[in-house]
Structure 1
Amino acid sequence: MQFCPKCNLRLKKGTCQKCGYTEAAKQETKKPTGDMDKSFTILDESDGKETLPTITIDCEKCGHNEAVWWMLQTRSADEPTTQFYRCSKCSHTWRNYA
């Protein structure tokens, strides 16, 4: 939100409605900083399987009885979380709405 430096009213589309002050267009460029957190990485679909918890459950596709699981809030906050399962053998993924 921008304000007029002369009369302190809120600028609408860069112009003051009271005194006619017009703000010059500013071009902001964001430069990457060198102090980024190098420890943060994004995992692929197959990465990190060994870090996810496992559960004994039958796969709907191949019948294997071990899968990794995780939970996400896919609906509104007052609804329960959705549990996702991925088969350790065939990588078939399915969900359970608790």
Structure 2
Amino acid sequence: MYAVVKTGGKQYKVRAGETIKVEQIPAPVGSEVTLSPLLAVGEGKSIYFGTVPHAQIRATVVAQGRHPKIKIFKLRRRKHYQKRAGHRQNYTELRIDTIYNEMASTVE
């Protein structure tokens, strides 16, 4: 069984047992997090699209971290303008434990 979940403004296709990196969630390492709403739930060739009522994903926080630095360089030619900057985005690494759909069943 797989599901599509929206968190942090992005959509992720997940299965039970996978690990994913999402936008930072304020939760300590080792705690359990519930993700909802699910945008799609499917198994094999059958899939249910749309916001799935009574469905949720239970995940465990594995780590909190920061992505590698992205270098930003701005230049205006012939104007003697140069600007350098950098950015590191925070992330939360989650291990998907279960995809729970009250209408169908629980998959671990």
**TM-score > 0.5, shorter chain as reference:** no
Q: TM-score, normalised by structure 2?
A: 0.24
Please identify the structure whose Cα radius of gyration is greater.
Answer: 1
Bigger relative contact order, structure 1 or 2, given CA contacts below 8 A and separation 6+?
2
Between Structure 1 and Structure 2, which shows a larger proportion of strand residues?
Answer: 2
Q: TM-score, normalised by structure 1?
A: 0.25
